[in-house]
Amino acid sequence: MGLRFLSVIFFISQVFMVYAQSDSGALLGANLVQNSGFEKGGEPWKLAQNASVDHAAGYNSGSSLLVKNDDPEKKFSGTSQRLDIAPGSTIYFKAKVKGNLSSKSEKPKSDGARVYIQAYDEFGKVISGRYPKLSGLGTFDWKELSGDYTVPIDAAYVSIAVGLYNGVTGEAWFDDVTIQTEKPPFIEAFLMKPHYRGMIQEKGEQVFSEHIIINRGYYENSKEDILVRYVLKNVVNKTIDKFEVKLPGSTTDTILAFSPKTKLQEGDYTLVGEYKSNLSNSSFSRIHKVEVVRNWPMVYIDEEGYTVKNGERIFPFGLYIGHPDDEHLERIKQAGFNTVLSYGYGHNANFEEYLDKAERYDLHVIYSLKDFYEGGALKLGNRKPLDVAKDYVNQIKYKPSLLAWYTVDELLPNWIPKIDELYQTITKIDPHHPTLQVHYYDGYRMLEKYYYNADIIATDPYPVGRPDLSLTSTRVKAGLQATHHTKGHWAVLQSMDWAVYQKEKKPNPPNLDELRNQCYQALIHGAKGILFYTYYDLFQERYPRKNTLDYDNFNKIWPDVVRMSTEVNALFPVLLNGKNQSVTIVENDKVEISCLTYQGDVFLLIANPFYTSKEIRIKMDEDWKIDIYSQGQITAQVNSDVLTLQLPSIGSGVFKLKSNKE
């Protein structure tokens, strides 16, 4: 059979609702909006006061929705339609619009008519939404407005709405309002080993493994057999091994594992995976670069998702910062942080000074390349952004303080071809530093789209100011699932105050409990690195930002940040060297928990994301022993073999037990 078959592990499970990188892009289902062209009048739409059905004008048909406003001081709600769409679903929405519009804000490119999505909880309160770019002002013919959105896990329903932005006057016609859910490909494949950029050590374990998912439930429960074939080629494109297996029609989820029949020597190889079925348009192939190396790179992600720098496993714990003056870098280091990321240093002539200063303070640098995309906001004259990015990578890659490249800051999937181009460029000219992406998605299917162009994927919940902090767990869990436990998995948490960004908000910076709670939720769900956004916002109290630094405001917040950092730093030995252990939950009121063992001790990481007291009951291991029943914010009680842990509002921390196990 060519490649020596180590193991093929089949397990049938609930069909995964996922999306992997696909050459054909997103597959979409039918339009879920009823009466999307308004041919049947206003039902089931909820018409706004300034909206009516126009049966004399339309994009495809003779009808459309006409929205009028003649008073810039009037505010109208959007004309909306409620839809019951499963939480976690990725949806794509769009509408056609034409108009004759003006605005008191006089922003012709960023104002006008709109289409948007909002998700609601069971009490009808808005949880979140997506508000794409508006139509612009002036007189214009039919154009399309569009966006995509992942329905939050805790959403009861969503609505799509169209209308005019506040302050906009004139007329706009809307037609062909559409919502489509994303339909995953019939076959998906995620290469899990080699786990990092296709690298295999010459003297180490040489194993290939792949997670294959067959989405039969989306295709009328197709029972097609799937033929999977792998071909391993050397640098001159000569086939040196093959492996082939047929997955039976009952398979929905499986991991294939295999190794070469002979040890691979140092050099470059290619692994071609082919996935075939008789279902129309379902077959595809994927090429993976494989490199057999003598030694791992200077910085890389190990098989457990930890960052390794100069042969030492580290836990990146840092802050987004502004300009790296000595005063700030010294303060950040003394507070216990080890990593910084600055947007100001992406396109900046003083980049060497920045990296050298960070080295003096023993701080790791994640260098920002997030703006080097054609069509982005960065203006570089006649030079292409990718060429300028190459220059920075070549000049900076030897700096000792460099930890990683920051390549994506919340870019939507339509940017993926350009993201992939930048990623491939970086990996080619700098094999020694990983890349980091940050996303705000609640669902892992959206994050999976970036699987093949990132080394580290992070999510940024920013929950403080919401009814609870549970969004942290929602997004961090999604990140872990999207990486298939094979890539770096980090969290970007909130230290800033939303009042600095939204003028209607009152100052409400995260307090110590909220800072700490976010950290524990992230750690519980497997984050192997944590960054806080942002240091420089701590010097601001309200929108808009001032040019001067408000030290009075900073000094009110920073002590809590330091206390939180000190507590997390004390956990580093456990996080970096401990072993995960499962716990048996007897009863749980939405408390987050995980367990690590280290040097004979048991560490229960616990977080209550809610602003009310909660408790969790777990089964006591017969080898566990409790010396102290009240630890930090956590109080324990034992009844027979059940351990009850009680936490106050937004309570979190570590509950430590002794273990008699060797």
Q: Which of 232-241, 487-496, 498-507 has the lowest mean pLDDT?
A: 498-507
Q: Which helix (H) or strand (E) holds 100?
A: strand 90-103
Residue that is written with structure tokens 């409620």 in the block: 82
Query: Where does the pLDDT of residue 3 fall: very low under 50, low under 70, confident under 90, or very high at 90 and above?
Result: very low
Which ranges in 368-449 belong to alpha helices (H)?
Answer: 385-396, 416-429, 444-448
Better-scored residue on pLDDT, 361 or 181 = 361
Q: Give the Cα separation of 40 and 515 in Å (integer).
A: 52
The Cα 227–Cα 188 span in angstroms is: 13
Tens digit of each residue's pLDDT (9 = 90 or more) over 637-661: 999 999 999 999 999 999 999 987 7
Strands annotated E in 335-452: 339-342, 364-368, 402-409, 435-439
653: amino acid identity, one letter: G
Tell me if 462 sits within 8 A of 508, measured CB to CB.
no
> Which CATH number does 578-659 carry?
2.60.40.1180
Query: How far does CA 192 lie from the centroid of its chain?
Result: 19
The Cα–Cα gap between 386 and 394 comes to 12
Mean pLDDT of 38-66: 92
Q: Locate the DSSP E strands across 575-641.
A: 579-580, 585-588, 592-598, 601-607, 614-619, 624-625, 630-631, 634-639
Residue 662 pLDDT > 60: no
Give residue-wise pLDDT tens across range 160-177: 999 999 999 999 999 999
Mean pLDDT of 113-133: 90
What does the pLDDT average to over 471-487? 94
What are the residues facing 208 on neighbouring strands?
A: 258
Those residues with Cβ within 8 angstroms of residue 487's Cβ, 6 or more apart along the chain or in another chain: 195, 196, 301, 305, 451, 454, 455, 456, 457
- The answer, yes or no, to whether residue 15 has pLDDT greater than 70, is no
Q: Does pLDDT of 17 surpass 80?
A: no
Structure-model confidence comparison of residues 151 and 541, the more confident one = 541
User: Starting at the edge strand that comes first in sequence, how are the strands of the sheet with 592-598 ordered?
Assistant: 579-580, 592-598, 601-607, 652-659, 624-625
Q: 90 falls in which pLDDT band (50, 70, 90)?
A: confident
Pull the structure tokens for residue 550. Answer: 């408000």
> 27-183, which class in CATH?
mainly beta
Q: How confident is the model at residue 13 (pLDDT cuts 50, 70, 90)?
A: very low
Least confident of 35-39, 151-155, 250-254: 151-155
The answer, yes or no, to whether residue 6 has pLDDT greater than 50, is no
Flag whether pLDDT at 208 surpasses 90.
yes
pLDDT band of 88, cuts 50, 70, 90: confident
Q: Do domains 27-183 and 578-659 have the same CATH topology?
A: no
Q: What are phi and psi of 500, to 5 degrees?
A: -75, -20
Q: pLDDT tens-digit profile of 59-85?
A: 988 899 999 999 988 889 999 999 988
For the segment 310-334, the average pLDDT, to the nearest whole number, is: 96
The mean predicted confidence, pLDDT, of the chain is 91
Taking only Cα atoms into account, the Rg of the chain, rounded to an integer number of angstroms, comes to: 27
Mean pLDDT of 46-59: 93
CATH code for 299-575? 3.20.20.80
* CATH number, domain 186-293: 2.60.40.1930
Q: Is the pLDDT of residue 9 over 80?
A: no
Which residue is listed with tokens 């023993």?
362
- Domain residue limits, the chain: 27-183, 186-293, 299-575, 578-659
Per-residue pLDDT, 22: 31
User: Residue 44, preceding bond cis, omega within 30 degrees?
Assistant: yes
Average pLDDT over residues 81-98: 90
Give pLDDT tens digits for 388-437: 999 999 999 999 999 999 999 999 888 999 999 999 999 999 999 999 99
- The Cα 300–Cα 306 span in angstroms is 8
Closest by Cα among 416, 417, 456, 453 to 436: 456
181-185 average pLDDT score = 86
Between the CA of residue 154 and those of 408, 551, 587, what are the distances in Å?
27, 39, 20
Beta pairing, strands 402-409 & 435-439: parallel
